[in-house]
Structure 1
Amino acid sequence: MRRVLLTAPIHQDAVELLRGVAEVVVSDKPLRSEDELMNVVKDFDAVISMGVEPFTKRVLENSSRLLIVARHGVGYDNIDVDAATRLGIWVTITPVEELFDAVADHAIALLLCITRKICTADSFVRLGKWFEKPFDKQLFIGIGLRGKTLGIVGLGRIGARIAERAKGFGLKVIYYDIERKIELEKRLGVEFSQFDYLLKNSDFIVVSVPLTEKTRGLIGERELYMMKQNAILINISRGAVVDHKALVKALKSGRLAGAALDVFHVEPIPPTDEIVKLPNTVLTPHIAWLTEESRRAMAMRAAENVIKVLNGEEPLDAINPTVKEFARNKRVKGV
């Protein structure tokens, strides 16, 4: 019988769907090291990955049964796609509308939380400080959004939704992308700008790009020091897109007013990390995608991709379509 590994629990509807065609096993712990992953995956035909597992060349080469690594998400920087392709292993993602909406909503939530000091105020009330005299309202003076400029780095499916929401708050929206989006400019009323111009002229900057070799470290010390001193950086893409040490330095020195982050260079971020102690930050544990709607939609899409491959069909959302011939040979050999 075919076997499917879930590296973490997913929506039960998707689990039931998978059980119609295979034995489903849920890992009882995070598989964060090559050795751990290699020892487990070799016994499975398919894996649904939550994105923290290192599917390196070494791991994939030791997984002769494996036909598909289905990402529960849209990022796949944890997978050596070239190695997977040569080995006849499909790699898929879950580009569902519910996911893009969830992440865009979270980006705006982070913006509001840091500009209106929501987390600071919440702690103030819970710790009983509201009853202290005198009550210093200076602590909670926020920043209005109307008339300010939001710069979006990466106007993809998530970036475009962030722009839609931002326009409703009266923000001027500019964007930078490696590819100019003329139709989106017209539909959303946003303006294209060069990268450096965006950094220098935005009050708030949202990073919304995939992690690639070109975007790794895209926001470094040079870029941070080009930003307005009262600017706020929001990252809902991948932690490695922003140079963590440079960001901490800019926040500590007051060169950057604040940062709201859902992703980090190391996840989970240790409580001893300097950024955790900084008061001019809002930090969430990589949950931008996590709504009931997106969780179900992503799980169902990942399950559908797995089922198609197990049935000898092409999946819906392959990021390595050239794997076809390799995968066909793999099935013929009965591997």
Structure 2
Amino acid sequence: MYEIGISRDFLNGRGEIAWGDIGLSRIEADPRLRHRMIGDGDVAENFAGFDAVLVLRQRIDQKLLDAAPRLRHVSRWGAGLDRIDLDACTRAGVMVTSTPLGGKVPVAVAALTFVLTLTHRVLEKDRLVREGRWAERADYMGMGLAGRTIGIVGLGNIGREFARLAAPFQARLAAYSPRAEKAQADALGVELVGLDQLMERSDIVVVTAALTPATQGMISAERIARMKPGCIFVNVARGEIVDEDALIAALKSGRIARAGLDVFREEPLAPSSPLMRMDNVLLAPHALAWTDQIISGNAVDAIGSLLSVAANKRPGFIANPQVLDHPRFADMSS
């Protein structure tokens, strides 16, 4: 029997899979496979006895791999891999797969949702109506996008999709993305620039980059100080990319007029965080992109990878392709 573990962060407060059938019925249809929830608590030994695991935000490190010698596949529900030690997995003969396409459109739409909500000052205008302050509405003028510069930090799958979504609004699009191809950017109408230049020129900055050692802390206090006074800042990537203290200071001073944040340095965001008390910040619990479409998209790829590896077939979206050289995968068919 091929044993598949499901990390407990898929459960809601009632102890149920948060999104209903996330594709587990496809596993149940194969009599050679069995799935069950991984034991409670962050204990590496809970992963012993599994051939594969489906994880959401579970950390996979050397300690866990040492405790689970049978493990050969980690299927990550989502695109980010910052909680998984890919080198350790490769050494241990553990294949890691992800779902980079499932969230591409939903996360890009989430970023655009932040941009439109913040530029049109939707929350402030909602409060004006609820508080009977109609006479103040002229004090809350929004920002039109036509002719403005939107700077995209990270022109990967999500960044490119955001550029496509933003194009009809007639904004100027710029991006910082060292590995982006100029021809691809040109086709999207995006100008590739340096990060400092992007921060200085942009009326709106949207962060979509993956968290890596190179991007951690990339939006530093020095770079935030370069931003145009009164600009708008959106982060749908990872909180660790941004110096959160410097961001808070810039929001207090007004250098950044408004911000939309779906991610934070520490999650959940502490009730004591100054961000909780700021009227010029729109907050979401790392879930703004969670729609029926992201669930169905991730389910297709994450469960599909589990089924492929269980059948010794090469899946799509292997995050550590060097693992194919490991003896465990010598007979894997393409």
Fold in common (TM above 0.5): yes
SS at match of 1:135: helix
On the 8 A contact 1:90/1:327 being kept in 2, the answer is no
CA displacement, residues 206-226 of structure 1 (integer Å, 9 cap, x when unaligned): 111111000000001000000
Query: How many Å separate the matches in 1 of 2:171 and 2:240?
Result: 27
SS at match of 2:135: coil
**Counterpart mapping for 1:283-294 below 5 A:** 283-294=283-294
Give the drift of 1:204: 0.3
Q: Corresponding residue for 1:146? A: 146
Greater alpha carbon shift after TM alignment, 135-144 vs 257-266: 135-144
Query: How many Å separate the matches in 1 of 2:26 and 2:180?
Result: 40
On the 8 A contact 1:11/1:295 being kept in 2, the answer is no
Q: Corresponding residue for 1:66? A: 71
Q: Corresponding residue for 1:111? A: 115
Q: Corresponding residue for 1:55? A: 60
- Residue identity matched to 1:95: P
Q: Corresponding residue for 1:38? A: 44
On the 8 A contact 1:67/1:310 being kept in 2, the answer is no
Greater alpha carbon shift after TM alignment, 74-83 vs 248-257: 248-257
**Counterpart mapping for 1:1-335 below 5 A:** 1-7=1-7, 8=10, 9=17, 12=21, 14-21=23-30, 22-26=33-37, 36-51=42-57, 53-96=58-101, 98-125=102-129, 128-130=130-132, 135-326=135-326, 328=328
Query: How many Å separate the matches in 2 of 1:123 and 1:42?
Result: 52
Greater alpha carbon shift after TM alignment, 206-215 vs 246-255: 246-255
On the 8 A contact 1:14/1:300 being kept in 2, the answer is yes
Paired residues in the alignment total: 321
Query: How many Å separate the matches in 2 of 1:329 and 1:28?
Result: 28
SS at match of 1:252: helix
Distance change in 2, residues 1:123/1:66 (3 Å) = farther
- Residue identity matched to 1:90: M
Structure 1 unaligned segments of length 5 or more: list them.
none
Give the drift of 1:324: 2.1
SS at match of 1:258: strand
Give the drift of 1:108: 0.6
Structure 2 unaligned segments of length 5 or more: list them.
11-16
SS at match of 1:136: helix
- Residue identity matched to 1:66: L
Give the drift of 1:124: 4.6
Query: How many Å separate the matches in 2 of 1:23 and 1:120?
Result: 51
CA displacement, residues 97-122 of structure 1 (integer Å, 9 cap, x when unaligned): x4211111111100111111212333
Query: How many Å separate the matches in 2 of 1:75 and 1:221?
Result: 24
Query: How many Å separate the matches in 1 of 2:191 and 2:287?
Result: 29
Give the drift of 1:184: 2.4
Query: How many Å separate the matches in 1 of 2:55 and 2:327?
Result: 19
Distance change in 2, residues 1:91/1:327 (3 Å) = farther
Give the drift of 1:228: 0.5
Using CA pairs under 8 Å that are at least 6 residues apart, name the structure with larger relative contact order, 1 or 2: 1
Distance change in 2, residues 1:20/1:37 (3 Å) = farther
Query: How many Å separate the matches in 2 of 1:310 and 1:207?
Result: 36
Distance change in 2, residues 1:303/1:170 (3 Å) = same
- Residue identity matched to 1:307: L
Distance change in 2, residues 1:219/1:6 (3 Å) = same
Query: How many Å separate the matches in 2 of 1:18 and 1:177?
Result: 38
On the 8 A contact 1:205/1:233 being kept in 2, the answer is yes
Query: How many Å separate the matches in 2 of 1:262 and 1:139?
Result: 27
On the 8 A contact 1:37/1:54 being kept in 2, the answer is no
On the 8 A contact 1:89/1:327 being kept in 2, the answer is no
CA displacement, residues 173-228 of structure 1 (integer Å, 9 cap, x when unaligned): 11111034222233222212122111101100111111100000000100000000
CA displacement, residues 138-187 of structure 1 (integer Å, 9 cap, x when unaligned): 45321111111101111111111111121211111111110342222332
Give the drift of 1:27: 5.2
Query: How many Å separate the matches in 2 of 1:266 and 1:290?
Result: 19
SS at match of 2:150: strand
- Residue identity matched to 1:119: L
- RMSD across aligned C-alpha pairs, in angstroms? 2.2
Query: How many Å separate the matches in 2 of 1:245 and 1:263?
Result: 14
